[in-house]
Structure 1
Amino acid sequence: MTENHNTPAIDLAVLDMAGTTVADGGLVEQAFAAAAERLGVTPGSPEHTRQLDYVRATMGESKISVFRHLFGDEGRAQQANTAFEEAYHDLVDGGRCTALPGAAEAIETLRKAGTKVVLTTGFSRATQDRILDALGWRELADLTLCPADAGRGRPYPDMVLTALLRTGTDDVRSVAVCGDTSYDMLTGRRAGASVVAGVLTGAHGREQLTGAGATHVLPSIAGLLELLAVRAA
C-alpha cells in the first residue's frame, strides 16, 4: 500500500474472534450460566440476572477478570473460570463453533495484500486454541494472542501493542483494530490505532461501539476490506 503523511498505510490488522470473526451464537452466555450454577447462583434469580447483565456489558474483557469482579475472592473466581472453560469447550466440541461468513476470506485477502493479521480474544489460551482447532484456523493468521500473552486483556491496549511488537510493525497509526464490543473499541483507541472499527455481528450495537470510540461501524468483518481499500486509495 502507498503511504502518505496524513493516512499511513495499514500494515497490521488486529481482529477479535468471538462475535467478529467467529460466530458467538450465545455460547458465552450459555457457558457463563453453567459456571454460575456450579457456584450456586440459581438460573433466573435476581443475582443471576445481575451477573448476566455484567457479562453482557463487559463482553470482550478477559474472562478471569470478569469472574474476579463477580465472585470476589480468587478461589471462587478461578473455580468459575474453570467451569466456564469446561462448558465452552463442550459447546465447541459439540460443533457449535462456526466462522462468520466471509471472515476467513477477509483474513486471507488482507494477508495477500501484505497486511499482517493478528487474532485476539478475551478467552484463555486453552479456549482460544480449542476454537482455532475447531475451525482449522491454526495457520490462518500471522499470530494469535490471548490476555496472558500480553499481560492484560481488554480494555487495556496490551494485546494490540504486543501484536505491533511481535509483528515488527513500525507505527501505531499503521494499525487497524476490529471488534464487536465497546472494550474492543477502547483497546484500539488506547493503543493509538488509526482505524478502530466496530462490527454489528456480535455483542454490542452501533451506539455502544461509537460511544466507546469507534472510528467506523461496519455490518461485518467483510466490510473492513472495502474500508481499508478506500482508505489506501
Structure 2
Amino acid sequence: MTDTTDSSIDLVVLDMAGTTVADDGLVEEAFSAAAERLGVAPGSPEHASQLAHVRATMGESKISVFRHLFGDEERARRANSAFEEAYHDLVDGGRCAPLPGAVEAIEALRAAGRRTVLTTGFSRATQDRILAALGWQDLADLTLCPADAGRGRPYPDLVLTALLRTGADDVRRIAVCGDTSYDMLTGRRAGASVVAGVLTGAHGDAALREGGATHVLGSVGELPAVLAVADAEAARRPGAPR
C-alpha cells in the first residue's frame, strides 16, 4: 500500500445511492409503495406533499423521514418496513447497478492508500442487500448504516464512526462524497476538509453548494484526481511534513 505520511486525505467516506450506486428512481418507487400500504393514495395531494419531502431529504436516515411523515413511532416503523420490502424487491429484480466509474474510483482510492467507507441512509438489511446484489461486500474497507453510528445524516455520526472504526486520527484528513445537501452538511459538521458533491443523484449544483460542498463533481469518478490535487496543495503548505 502506498505511504500516506505526506497525504492530506487518508479516509474517504462515500455515499451509496446516487453517488456510487445508480438510484434510477428506486427510492421514490419504494416510498410510493410504502405510502400506499399506509393508506396514502398515489396522485393524492397528501402523496404529492410527502413525495416532495422525500425528495428534499434524500440522504437522511429513512426511518427519520418516516417519523416526520407519519408521526407516531408505530406507523413510522410500518412505513419503513414496507419501504424496505419494496426496495428489496426492486434490488432483487435487477434494478441495482453501480454508477459508471464508481468501482474504478474506489479501487483507485484504496490503491493510493486511502481507507474507504461506504455509507447509507438505509437500514443494515437494505445496505447488505445492495452490496450483495453488486458483489461489493469487499470493495470498501468498511460499510456503515445509521444504526451503526447512532444517528444518520445530516448528523456527523456516520463520518466520525468511520474515523473511529478505521483508526484514522484527524478529521481534517477526511473526504466526504455524496449526491445530496445532507451529505454535504454531514461532511461539514464532521470537520472534513474535502466535501465533494456529485451530480449523478438527487440534488443539483445549487443545493450541494448550499449544503457546504467544497467541490461539485460530475461523478465520483473524478474524486481520485481531486484528492491527488488536494494532497499536492497540502504538501506545499508551510509546516507540511517532508
Structure 1 and Structure 2 fold alike (TM over 0.5): yes
Conserved in 2, the CA contact under 8 Å of 1:161 and 1:191?
yes
Task: Tell me what 2:99 maps to.
Answer: 100
Q: Give the distance between the partners of 1:2 and 1:147, measured in 2 at CA.
A: 31
Query: How many residue pairs are counted as aligned between the two chains?
Result: 229
Q: Does 1:79 align with 2:81?
A: no
- Amino acid aligned to 1:134: A
SS of structure 1 residue aligned to 2:80: helix
Maintained 8 Å contact 1:2/1:232 = no
Q: Tell me the alpha carbon deviations over residues 135-180 of structure 1, each in whole angstroms, 9 at most, x when there is no partner.
A: 0000000000000000000000000000000100010000000000
> Does 2:208 align with 1:232?
no
Question: Which residue of structure 2 lines up, in the alignment, with residue 202 of structure 1?
Answer: 201
Cα offset for 1:2? 5.4
CA RMSD of aligned residues (A): 0.7
- AA paired with 1:100? L
After TM superposition, the score normalised by the length of structure 1 is 0.97
With normalisation by structure 2, the TM-score equals 0.94
2:218 corresponds in structure 1 to 219
Per the alignment, in what secondary structure is the counterpart of residue 138 of structure 2?
coil
Aligned counterparts of 1:161 and 1:72: Cα–Cα separation in 2? 29
Is 1:118 the counterpart of 2:117 in the alignment? yes
Identity %: 79
Q: For 1:220 and 1:2, locate their aligned partners in 2 and report how far apart those are by CA, in whole Å.
A: 27
Partner in structure 1 of residue 134 of structure 2 = 135
Question: Structure 2: any 5+ residue segments left out of the alignment?
Answer: 233-242
How far apart are the structure 1 equivalents of 2:13 and 2:223?
Answer: 11
Are the aligned partners of 1:21 and 1:221 in contact in 2 as well (CA < 8 Å)? yes
Instruction: Give yes or no for the alignment of 1:167 onto 2:166.
Output: yes
- Alpha-carbon distance between aligned partners in 1 of 2:126 and 2:42, rounded to the nearest angstrom: 24
One-letter amino acid of the counterpart of residue 173, structure 2: S
Q: Gaps spanning 5+ residues in structure 1: where?
A: none
CA distance in 2: counterparts of 1:114 and 1:214, whole angstroms: 24
